[in-house]
Amino acid sequence: MHPRRVAFLFLLAGSIGALSGIASGLFLELLRIATETRENHPWLIFLLPVAGAAIAWVYQGYGQSAAGGNNLILDQIHAPQGAGVPLRMFPLILASTVATHLFGGSAGREGTAVQMGGSIAGEIGRRLKLSQPDIRLALMCGISGGFSSVFGTPLAGTVFGMEMLAIGGFRYDALLPCLIAALIGNEAVHLLGVAHTDYHVATVIPALEPSVVLKVAVAAVAFGLASAVFSEMTAEIEHISKRYLRNPVVRTASGGVIVVFITLALGTQMYNGLSLPMLRDAFTGDVPTWAFLIKLVLTAITLGFGFKGGEVTPLFVIGACLGATLAGPLGMSPELLAALGFVAVFAAAANTPIACVLMGAELFGGNGIIYIGIAVFIAYTISGHRGIYHAQRIVSPKFAQSRPDGSDNVTLRDLRRRQ
């Protein structure tokens, strides 16, 4: 590769990573303030329907293509066309996600970080008048920079930016640029003084024995099924709500009303927002038996009705709580199974197994990586051709002779339309 090309790629990836990291630092700080404010003022939950109506109204009037979110970024990577990923996606997703958390919606943060990174990359691509291949590369760097900086996992972020595009497909030409973006994005957050959530598995990792492998495999099947249920439920709620509530303002406000009623019925707000305290409790096994299911349903309703935010942190919570619930029946450490569920449910829903194995090692240490791999790979396979990113293409099917239509271009969105 020509030295000028190398220098260009380094500057491009580094700039996108730095800006994505700064954006994530701002976002994480605003999210912290929003969460603390809601916890100190529980009555804010009653304004969730109003916030939902406002979010939908803004997106209806000003969002335009930005409403496509993560799927718009994937579509643009696969086939750049039109105006691309608009810069307006940045402030819209930032403000709407913070509002969702401030008033008690159950959502995450990955989607916001990825969309901010994608919008930054798209704007840089337009200003520099990059070629289509370089626009694709820039958008992948935006994904890696955003993911890495919001979770503090540069290796996972590097691979995630390439792996989330397609099931069974990798873009190795983006490996070094995505790594640069992920590393610089993560460092930018640290330089801003914003701390990532710290996880650590202190339990002794059991020896690799058939009985332990079997128990992990059983849990992994449950993780894969939970992921499939989440993906299907969220998509089905979105489909039904759009069918019967065609006005997006009314639709999202109605979702807010439902979330408020469920919260009041539960008598607690532990399932609202990110639910990070419950996530920490899962590692000690101190969570209600059905906590994973309640969080799953509440998140599916929040996102399915049109509120903004990511799916990943709720998937972490769902997986960790499910792991804690399974620990007793399987006779295993709740800390270990919570860690495995944390990464496996997300891996199956995002269809990013390699990135999630790396994430598990980065977050929990490499001692248990063999069990992380077993849990992730089984859950990924069990979940089938489902996922939270409907624009993902199926390049290599999960099962032999299972290509949906013989094409390399079919997406998860296409599969749902045929059902």
pLDDT digits (tens, 9 = 90+) for 317-354: 999 999 999 999 999 999 999 999 999 999 999 999 99
Q: What counts of helices (H) and strands (E) characterise the chain?
A: 17, 2
Least confident of 37-41, 110-114, 277-281, 381-385: 110-114
- Residue 363: what are its φ and ψ, rounded to 5°? -85, -40
Query: 403 falls in which pLDDT band (50, 70, 90)?
Result: low
The predicted pLDDT at position 172 comes to 81
Using alpha carbons only, give the angle 399, 401, 402 rounded to the nearest 5 degrees.
Answer: 60
For β-strands 166-167 and 393-394, DSSP reports them as parallel
Beta strands in 62-187 (DSSP E): 166-167
Q: Which residues contact 77 (CB under 8 A, 6 or more apart)?
A: 136, 139, 140, 165
27-58: b (≥16 Cβ within 10 Å) or e: bbebbeebbeebeeeeebbebbbebbbbbbeb
> What's the mean pLDDT in 10-29?
96
Query: 167 falls in which pLDDT band (50, 70, 90)?
Result: confident
pTM of the model as a whole: 0.94
**Fold matches, 3-191 and 210-394:** yes
Q: Which residues contact 129 (CB under 8 A, 6 or more apart)?
A: none
Q: Which residues contact 195 (CB under 8 A, 6 or more apart)?
A: none
User: Mind listing the pLDDT tens digit for each residue in 254-279?
Assistant: 999 999 999 999 999 999 999 999 99
- Residue 206: what are its φ and ψ, rounded to 5°? -65, 155
What residue ranges do the domains of the chain occupy? Answer: 3-191, 210-394
Query: 68 falls in which pLDDT band (50, 70, 90)?
Result: confident
- Taking alpha carbons only, the member of 14, 329, 308 closest to residue 178 is 14
Q: Is the pLDDT of residue 212 over 70?
A: yes
Fold of 3-191: Clc chloride channel (1.10.3080)
The predicted pLDDT at position 53 comes to 97
- CATH classification for the domain delimited by 210-394, as one of 2.40.10.220, 3.20.20.140, 1.10.3080.10, 2.60.120.10: 1.10.3080.10
Percent of the chain with pLDDT over 70: 97
Q: Is the pLDDT of residue 103 over 90?
A: yes
Query: Dihedral of CA 191/121/388/42: which sign?
Result: positive
